[in-house]
C-alpha cells in the first residue's frame, strides 16, 4: 500500500439515501423535538453521529449468514457457532446471548449486585451505572483527572486510576462485589486501557479476592490501540491481545452493537458455572431461552461472523484511521477536542468551544443543537444532562467535562461525509462568540432523563 492513511477497506454494494435539509426546516424540527436530538425523527437528520451503537453496516458475509440462521427455539446451530467463536476469541466457557448490552448487565448484576454495595470501575457507561443504582448500590468511577483534560496526551486515558481503586478496596472492600473495567472507555471518547493496567487491576482484585468483570463493547478497538501504542505488542496479533485482555476476566458483558458489527445483540460470558446458572434463570425470565436470549437465530449467526471480521488488522486500521483523520482535521483548525482521538468518537470540549454559555444551561447540549441547525448533523451530549441528578439529593451532577460526542458508525460514512461534518463544526467555531445562551429543562424523568427530556432555548 502507498504510505498514506488506510482508506476504507470496504466498498459499497447497497446504498441508502440520506436527505439534506434547509436551516429553516431544521429550526422547526428541533423545536418540535423539544431541543432533544434523541426525539428527532432520523429522516430529519443528514449525517447521524448520535451513536456508533447498532448503526454499523453489516458485510455481505453477515447478510449471507442471516439467510442460514437456525431459528430453532432450543440448541440452535447458530448459537453453537457463536459459542465457538466466543470461546475461541475470549476464552470464556459459559455464554448467554441477550438482546443488547444492558440486558447482559442486568442479568449479571442480578447475581452480583446488592443494596449498599459499591462497584468501582475505570468508568461506568450510563446504563451500567443505572443498573447498579437501580439496585441501590453505588457506581464509583476511578479515572485519573488527566482523562478529562483534552490537552493530556496520555496514550491510555481509559486506564483505571490504581490509587483510587486501592483506596476503595482498603476502606470498603467488604462492600465491593467485583471490579469493572470498560474497554475502551466510552465516557472519555473511546480511550483505551493498556494491558499493563488491566494486569495491575487484576493483581489488586486478586489481593482482595474480588472478581474482575470487563465491559467489552469495544474490545477490538482496545486491542488495536494496545498493539499500536503499548511497548512490546507491535508483533502480537490482535487475537492474542484479546485473549490476554479477557484472560484476566471472570466475566464479560458485551453490547454486540459495537464491536460485534451487528445492529442488535449482546451477551454475557463467564468462566464461573455458578454465575452462569443463576444468570440463566434471570435470562429465561426476561429475555428468552438460554440459547437465544431474545435474539433471532439469524442475529446470532450474523454476530458470529461479525466477531471474526472485527478483529481483522485491515478493518481496524481503516476504522480507527478514519476517526483519527476526522479528529486531526479539527485539531488542525484549533477546535478543542479530546486528545489523543479515541477509537469510535471525537469528543468536542463544549465549555471551551462556547465559553459564554454557563454549565447550568447545558453547554454541550447547546452545541449539539447548534451543529444540527448548522448542517443537519446529529451528535450527542455527554455531560450534565446525561449525568442526571443525584438519586438521594436530587441535585444536578455537574459533569467533569461537557462533551459533544460525534460517534462514528462502523463502515457507514465515507471520509467525504466526515469532511463535511468537520467543515460545519469549524464554521461554527469561527462564529462561536455569537452563541451566548443555552437551553433550560421543561420536562424530565428521574431515570436516564437525557432520552426523553424536553428543553427550551434560553434567550440572553
Helix/strand/coil (H/E/C) assignment for every residue in the chain:
CCCCCCCCCCCCCCCCCCCCCCHHHHHHHHHHCCCCHHHCCHHHCCEECCCCCCCCCCCHHHHHHHHCCCCCCCCCHHHHHHHHHHHHHHCCCEEEEECCHHHHHHHHHHHHCCCCCEEEECCCCHHHHHHHHHCCCEEEECECHHHHCCCCCCCCCCCECHHHHHHHHHHHHHHCCCEEEECCEHHHCCECCCHHHHHHHHHHHHHCCCCEEEECCCHHHHHHHHHHHCCCCCCCCHHHHHHHHHHCCCEEEEECCCCCCCCCCEEEEECCHHHHHHHHHHHHHHCCCCCCCCCCHHHHHHHHHHHHHHCCHHHHHHHHHHHHHHHHHHHHCCCCECCCCCCCEEEEEHHHHCCCCCHHHCHHHHHHHHHHHHHCEECEEECHHHHCECCCCCCECCCCCCEEEEECCCCCCCHHHHHHHHHHHHHHHHCHHHCCCCEEEEECCCCCHHHCCEEEECCC
Residue 215 known to be catalytic: yes
Comparison of 101 and 306: residue with beta carbon closer to ligand PLP? 101
CB of 253 vs ligand PLP, minimal distance in Å:
7
Comparison of 260 and 336: residue with beta carbon closer to ligand PLP? 260
Q: What gap in Å lies between CA 370 and CA 57, rounded to an integer? A: 28
CB of 110 vs ligand PLP, minimal distance in Å:
15
Catalytic residue among 210, 257, 258, 344: 258
CB of 207 vs ligand PLP, minimal distance in Å:
26
Residues near ligand PLP (CB under 6 A): 53, 100-102, 125, 127-128, 182, 186, 215, 217, 255, 257, 266
Comparison of 127 and 312: residue with beta carbon closer to ligand PLP? 127
Residue 43 known to be catalytic: no
Residue 362 known to be catalytic: no
Residue 332 known to be catalytic: no
Catalytic residue among 33, 217, 302, 407: 217
Residue 450 known to be catalytic: yes
CB of 187 vs ligand PLP, minimal distance in Å:
8
Comparison of 59 and 182: residue with beta carbon closer to ligand PLP? 182
Comparison of 186 and 387: residue with beta carbon closer to ligand PLP? 186
Comparison of 257 and 410: residue with beta carbon closer to ligand PLP? 257
The candidate with the shortest Cα–Cα distance to 33, out of 303, 321, 378, 310, is: 378
CB of 22 vs ligand PLP, minimal distance in Å:
32
Comparison of 9 and 127: residue with beta carbon closer to ligand PLP? 127
Q: Indicate the residue whose CB is closest to ligand PLP.
A: 101
CB of 333 vs ligand PLP, minimal distance in Å:
28
Residue 38 known to be catalytic: no
Residue 429 known to be catalytic: no
Catalytic residue among 99, 257, 344, 450: 450
The set of cell numbers assigned to 34 is 423539544
Are 319 and 362 in contact, with CB atoms under 8 Å apart?
no
CB of 290 vs ligand PLP, minimal distance in Å:
19
| Residues designated as active site | 73, 125-126, 215, 217, 258, 450
Amino acid at each position: 500500500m502507498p504510505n498514506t492513511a488506510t482508506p476504507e477497506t470496504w466498498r459499497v454494494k447497497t446504498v441508502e439515501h440520506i436527505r439534506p435539509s434547509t436551516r429553516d426546516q431544521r429550526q422547526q424540527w428541533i423545536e418540535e423535538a423539544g431541543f432533544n436530538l434523541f426525539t428527532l425523527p432520523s429522516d430529519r437528520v443528514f449525517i447521524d453521529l448520535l451513536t456508533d451503537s447498532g448503526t454499523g453496516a453489516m458485510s455481505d458475509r453477515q447478510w449471507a449468514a442471516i439467510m442460514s440462521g437456525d431459528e430453532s427455539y432450543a440448541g440452535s446451530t447458530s448459537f453453537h457457532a457463536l459459542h465457538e467463536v466466543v470461546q475461541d476469541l475470549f476464552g470464556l466457557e459459559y455464554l448467554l446471548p441477550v438482546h443488547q448490552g444492558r440486558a447482559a448487565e442486568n442479568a449479571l448484576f442480578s447475581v452480583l449486585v446488592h443494596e449498599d454495595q459499591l462497584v468501582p470501575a475505570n468508568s461506568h457507561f450510563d446504563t451500567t451505572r443505572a443498573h447498579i443504582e437501580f439496585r441501590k448500590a453505588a457506581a464509583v468511577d476511578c479515572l485519573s483527572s488527566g482523562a478529562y483534560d483534552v490537552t493530556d496526551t496520555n496514550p491510555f486515558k481509559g486506564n483505571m486510576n490504581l490509587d483510587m481503586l486501592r483506596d476503595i478496596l482498603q476502606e470498603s472492600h467488604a462492600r465491593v462485589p467485583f471490579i469493572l473495567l470498560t474497554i475502551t472507555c466510552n465516557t472519555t471518547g473511546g480511550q483505551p486501557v493498556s494491558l499493563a493496567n488491566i494486569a495491575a487491576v487484576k493483581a489488586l482484585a486478586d489481593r482482595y479476592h474480588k472478581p474482575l468483570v470487563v465491559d467489552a463493547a469495544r474490545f477490538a478497538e482496545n486491542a488495536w490501540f494496545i498493539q499500536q501504542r503499548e511497548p512490546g505488542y507491535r508483533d502480537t496479533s490482535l487475537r492474542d491481545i484479546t485473549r490476554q485482555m479477557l484472560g484476566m476476566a471472570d466475566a464479560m458483558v458485551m453490547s454486540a452493537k459495537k464491536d460485534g458489527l451487528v445492529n442488535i445483540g449482546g451477551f454475557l460470558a463467564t468462566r464461573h458455572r455458578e454465575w452462569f446458572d443463576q444468570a440463566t434463570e434471570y435470562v429465561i425470565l426476561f429475555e428468552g431461552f438460554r440459547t437465544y436470549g431474545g435474539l433471532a437465530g439469524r442475529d446470532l449467526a450474523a454476530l458470529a461472523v461479525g466477531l471474526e471480521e472485527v478483529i481483522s488488522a485491515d478493518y481496524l486500521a481503516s476504522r480507527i484511521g478514519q476517526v483519527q483523520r476526522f479528529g486531526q482535521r479539527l485539531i488542525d483548525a484549533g477546535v478543542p477536542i479530546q486528545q489523543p482521538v479515541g477509537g469510535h468518537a471525537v469528543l468536542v470540549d463544549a465549555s471551551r468551544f462556547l465559553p459564554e454559555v454557563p454549565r447550568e444551561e447545558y453547554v454541550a447540549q447547546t452545541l449539539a443543537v447548534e451543529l444540527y441547525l448548522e448542517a443537519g448533523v446529529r451528535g450527542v451530549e455527554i455531560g450534565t444532562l446525561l449525568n442526571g441528578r443525584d438519586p438521594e439529593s436530587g441535585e444536578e451532577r455537574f459533569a467533569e467535562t461537557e462533551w459533544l460526542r460525534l460517534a462514528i458508525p462502523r463502515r457507514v460514512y465515507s471520509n467525504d461525509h466526515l469532511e463535511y461534518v468537520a467543515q460545519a463544526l469549524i464554521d461554527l467555531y469561527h462564529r462561536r462568540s455569537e452563541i451566548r445562551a443555552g437551553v433550560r429543562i421543561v420536562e424530565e424523568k428521574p431515570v436516564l432523563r437525557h432520552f426523553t427530556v424536553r428543553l427550551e432555548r434560553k434567550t440572553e
